[in-house]
Amino acid sequence: MCGLLADVHQGKKIHNMAVECGLESDLFVSNALIAMFGKCGSVIDGEKVFERMRKRDIVSWNSIISFYIENGFHGKAMVKLQELVQSGLRPDQVTIVSFLSICTSDITAREIHGYILRNGLECISEICNTLISMYGKFGRIEEARRIFKKTIRPDNVAWNALISSYAQNGYFDESIQLLRDMKHGGLNADVVTYCGIVSSLAQNNMPNDAVRLFTEMLDLGLKPDVVTLASILPAISDLMYLAYCKEIHGYSYRNRLESDRRVTNALISVYSKCGSVQYAACIFTDATNRDVISWSSMVVGYVQNGYFSKALGTFGEMLSGKIQPNPVAVTSILSACAGISAIRQGKEVHLWAYKNDFESHTFVGSALIDMYAKCGNIAYSRRVFDRISEEDSVICNSMISGYADHGLGEKALEIFHRVKEPDQVSFIAILSACNHGGLVDEGIKIFNSMKNFGIVPREGHYACMVDILGRSGRLEEALELIRTMPVKATIDVWGALLGACKTHSNLGVGIYSGTQLMGLSCENPGHYVMLSNILADCYRWEEVEVMRKKMNERGVKKGAGYSSIEVDKRIHSFVANEKTQHPEWGSLLRVLRRLNVQMKGFLISDWQGVDRIINPPHANYSDSVIAAIDAEALINEADADKGVVAIHSAMGGGTSLNMFLRRFPTRCFDVGISEQHAVTFAIGLACESLKPFCAIYSSFLQRAYKRGDSGSGICVWSFGVVLGQEPLKNGIGDKSIKAWSLQVVGKGGIPPCQFKLYQYL
């Protein structure tokens, strides 16, 4: 009883009573005393009892050997085994089983196995079962299987030992088949068998099989233990089975297992991963036995779900409660700081990490580099990098990614060439850096060099390469690369090509890549918007409408824009189209209205993520009507602003500028037949705070557009262009359109009436 209660003080009292009564020399009493002191962990007292024994039997030797094994003195246990053999006694099955369970060397195990064979003990089921487990532990599956087959009537323990051996060594299919064979043999697998295999499957990233067997286990009425529950919950989170998680939560509550810290922490983690961070927060709040893992899981959960402010608050409470954060919590909170560009809080966490020797930790250092880079301070990222070992690929990958985000491709290449053994992530990071830095040839070389490091390109690498080629205008090469991929192109790959087609106005390849995307059940609203805009450029209105219907059918919606900023130690968050309770909301609205007024007259950037105003044409206007309305709008603007000027060519007749010339002859500039330079000249005047409008012949539009786009470096043009009556090809050749103003071309379809047209211009 004292041993079971681990009450060594009461045990010593009984020992003294035995000595006073002259019973210490009794063999039975001495053996019981050794066992009691062993369970209480009182090594010295147990040794004294054994040394004072005048007579010892096999039980005495087994007691002292078990005594040493239970208290971790395996070397002393081996010495006692040798003394046992020298005393003339033969080790029995208890002795052998004890030693087999502590074998750490395959050689020692074989020596004991040899002793078993020489003494005919292999037929004892308890010894056989222990041998199976021992050989499974050393990875000798065939030997374990051989012993199992020699067992005359394998019991549940034998089956469980063999199944566990297979599962421990990664033979999961075989372990599941053995479970089925066990049932066919007339034996019902017990809770130990199921718990062992379910835990192994869950811990080795086989969530589907783990959940299936766990369900089977419950259907049989078996009750999983705490270890199994803590193992199966992460598997459920990998599969995003929120409903199943709630069922297990209910099971743990009904069976009073929820209070176990391991189950509590697993529930916090799984609810967070399934997107139900509110449930995780409730469990965390109600928990009375929170440890550092509980706090870390809650911080990670908030970060995973985008609640960065709450993550920072929880981390602060953690420090206030004098709970030492682990690297997981520190890494996550740095990600939160990066997510909201809270560089001040990030620096505070950095200071704490430095004082507590966390900065050199691989993942903490990586998170610090990432945080500073995302907060815009790449110089601080480099300082952290220089203080940490540059040989670590994880650290290097973060630095490369930071340089990539800042468009510093050359510096990213410098770091990449230091990495001795780059991994999959290293190549993703450097290809992204080449992409953002415009290093096309370097990107191609690096992509082709992956095989030299034994790395097979995956979908992410192909997506980067398609983006590199696409951004540089090499769309046909990008399409050919996709066609030669060894695996089917994913949404990311086709999305990269679609974005490049939008940038370079390649409507043919754009529609093709968009069609491929739709066939993959794409749920990214940005891709739908891009394809819709491309179709609108072709005036394929019916297909635009089909695209909108597909978005509705698939439940694809553009998410509300969200932004946050830290000002004066406070984090301010805003959501598009949503009223806010911000105390300065009135002042913010007034500023927004002023900005809207200032932005009037600037062209809408043809950004791939912006859905343009796309309306099918409802009316046709003659060229003379369009020119007259355009001229009226232009002249009215010129009357109000003396900065409005006009640029026309030798073929400027027939446009609205012809009327402007008659009204304001001193504000007109003639470029002769060099129409393609009209836009360049207009940009120069715009830089001098003038508001030029230029007239060019329609066939020169594309050349003029490219000159203004790439030659000047000005992204938003502050000038207008009016066109002559020559049809303008739309890039595919199956249709043509007439354009009267680059503003109208940039914004979308034709207004339904002349009054609306006047307002539009």
HSE-CB at 707 with a 13 A cutoff on CA atoms is 16
Assessment of whether the complete model's pTM goes beyond 0.85:
no
Which residue's structure tokens are 């995780």?
A: 280
**d(Cα 519, Cα 285) in Å, to the nearest integer?**
45
**Would you kindly state where each structural domain of the chain is located, as residue ranges?**
457-559+592-614, 623-760
Confidence at residue 599, expressed as pLDDT on a 0 to 100 scale? 65
For domain 457-559+592-614, the CATH class is mainly alpha
Q: Quick check: helix, strand or coil at residue 704?
A: helix
Confidence at residue 712, expressed as pLDDT on a 0 to 100 scale? 29
* Residue 536 pLDDT exceeds 80: no
DSSP, res 613: B
Confidence at residue 113, expressed as pLDDT on a 0 to 100 scale? 81
Query: How distant, in Å, are the alpha carbons of 395, 540, 545, 610 from that of 550?
Result: 43, 16, 9, 18
* Residue 656 pLDDT exceeds 50: yes
* Residue 756 pLDDT exceeds 80: no
**d(Cα 492, Cα 510) in Å, to the nearest integer?**
14
The phi and psi torsions of 746 (rounded to 5 degrees) equal -75, -25
Confidence at residue 716, expressed as pLDDT on a 0 to 100 scale? 31
Confidence at residue 609, expressed as pLDDT on a 0 to 100 scale? 42
Confidence at residue 728, expressed as pLDDT on a 0 to 100 scale? 34
Range scoring the smallest mean pLDDT among 186-190, 405-409, 725-729: 725-729
Q: Are 544 and 535 in contact (CB under 8 A)?
A: yes
For domain 623-760, the CATH class is alpha beta
Amino acid at 399: M
* Residue 702 pLDDT exceeds 50: no
Confidence at residue 82, expressed as pLDDT on a 0 to 100 scale? 72
Mean pLDDT of the chain: 76
Dihedral angle computed from the Cα positions of residues 640, 645, 649 and 652, in that order, rounded to the nearest 10 degrees? 0
Confidence at residue 429, expressed as pLDDT on a 0 to 100 scale? 95
HSE-CB at 502 with a 13 A cutoff on CA atoms is 28
Amino acid at 392: D
Q: Quick check: helix, strand or coil at residue 602?
A: coil
Of 696, 715, 692, 716, give the one whose Cα is nearest residue 704: 696
Q: Quick check: helix, strand or coil at residue 721?
A: strand
Residue burial 301-339, b: 16+ Cβ < 10 Å; e: rest: bbbbbebbbbbbebbeebeeeebebebbbbbbbbbbbbb
Question: Each residue of 461-510: pLDDT tens digit?
Answer: 999 999 999 988 899 999 999 999 988 888 889 989 988 888 887 878 88
* Residue 357 pLDDT exceeds 60: yes
Confidence at residue 696, expressed as pLDDT on a 0 to 100 scale? 59
**d(Cα 552, Cα 540) in Å, to the nearest integer?**
19
Of 507, 439, 447, 427, give the one whose Cα is nearest residue 471: 439
The phi and psi torsions of 693 (rounded to 5 degrees) equal -120, 135
HSE-CB at 382 with a 13 A cutoff on CA atoms is 11
Range scoring the smallest mean pLDDT among 163-177, 375-389, 616-630, 690-704: 616-630
pLDDT > 70: percent of the chain: 75
Question: Each residue of 589-642: pLDDT tens digit?
Answer: 777 777 776 665 554 444 444 444 334 343 444 555 556 666 777 787 788 888
Q: What is the DSSP string of 448-485?
A: HHGGGGT----HHHHHHHHHHHHHTT-HHHHHHHHHT-
Considering only residues 348 and 504, tell me which one the structure prediction assigns the higher pLDDT.
348
The phi and psi torsions of 103 (rounded to 5 degrees) equal -60, 125
Range scoring the smallest mean pLDDT among 51-65, 195-209, 227-241, 352-366: 51-65
Q: Which residues contact 342 (CB under 8 A, 6 or more apart)?
A: 308, 312, 336, 375, 566, 571
* Residue 224 pLDDT exceeds 50: yes
Q: Are 224 and 191 in contact (CB under 8 A)?
A: yes
Helices (H), 288-423: 292-304, 308-320, 327-339, 343-355, 362-374, 378-387, 393-405, 409-416
Confidence at residue 14, expressed as pLDDT on a 0 to 100 scale? 66
**d(Cα 95, Cα 382) in Å, to the nearest integer?**
61
Both tokens assigned to 282: 């409730």
Both tokens assigned to 166: 């297979």
Q: What is the mean pLDDT of residues 243-271?
A: 87
Q: How many Cβ atoms are within 10 Å of 22's Cβ, its own excluded?
A: 8
Confidence at residue 41, expressed as pLDDT on a 0 to 100 scale? 64
* Residue 198 pLDDT exceeds 80: yes
Which residue's structure tokens are 């050359």?
A: 410
Element (H, E) at 644: strand 644-648
Q: What is the mean pLDDT of residues 558-570?
A: 67
Checking DSSP bridges between strand 644-648 and strand 562-567, what pairing results, if any? unpaired
pLDDT interval class at 521 (50, 70, 90): low
Range scoring the smallest mean pLDDT among 410-419, 547-556, 648-657: 648-657
**d(Cα 728, Cα 705) in Å, to the nearest integer?**
13
Checking DSSP bridges between strand 736-737 and strand 570-575, what pairing results, if any? unpaired
Confidence at residue 48, expressed as pLDDT on a 0 to 100 scale? 72
**d(Cα 604, Cα 585) in Å, to the nearest integer?**
26
Length of the chain: 761
DSSP, res 610: P
Compute CA 550 distance to the chain's CA centroid, rounded to the nearest angstrom.
28
Q: Are 470 and 496 in contact (CB under 8 A)?
A: yes
Amino acid at 615: N
Q: How many Cβ atoms are within 10 Å of 123's Cβ, its own excluded?
A: 11
Considering only residues 217 and 620, tell me which one the structure prediction assigns the higher pLDDT.
217
pLDDT interval class at 164 (50, 70, 90): confident
Considering only residues 302 and 673, tell me which one the structure prediction assigns the higher pLDDT.
302
Q: Are 336 and 308 in contact (CB under 8 A)?
A: yes
Q: Are 431 and 461 in contact (CB under 8 A)?
A: yes
Question: Each residue of 369-419: pLDDT tens digit?
Answer: 999 999 999 999 999 999 886 668 899 999 999 999 999 999 999 999 988
pLDDT interval class at 129 (50, 70, 90): confident
Confidence at residue 282, expressed as pLDDT on a 0 to 100 scale? 93
With residues binned 3-state (H G I as helix, E B as strand, rest as coil), the percentages for the chain, rounded to 5, are: 65, 5, 30
* Residue 705 pLDDT exceeds 70: no
Helices (H), 206-260: 207-219, 226-239, 242-254
In degrees, to the nearest 5, what angle opens at C-alpha 80 toward C-alphas 76 and 85? 150
Confidence at residue 708, expressed as pLDDT on a 0 to 100 scale? 38
**d(Cα 141, Cα 166) in Å, to the nearest integer?**
7
pLDDT interval class at 430 (50, 70, 90): very high
Confidence at residue 749, expressed as pLDDT on a 0 to 100 scale? 38
Considering only residues 317 and 536, tell me which one the structure prediction assigns the higher pLDDT.
317
pLDDT interval class at 100 (50, 70, 90): confident
Compute CA 25 distance to the chain's CA centroid, rounded to the nearest angstrom.
67
Q: What is the DSSP string of 555-589?
A: T--PPPPEEEEEETTEEEEEETT-----TTHHHHH
**d(Cα 573, Cα 340) in Å, to the nearest integer?**
9
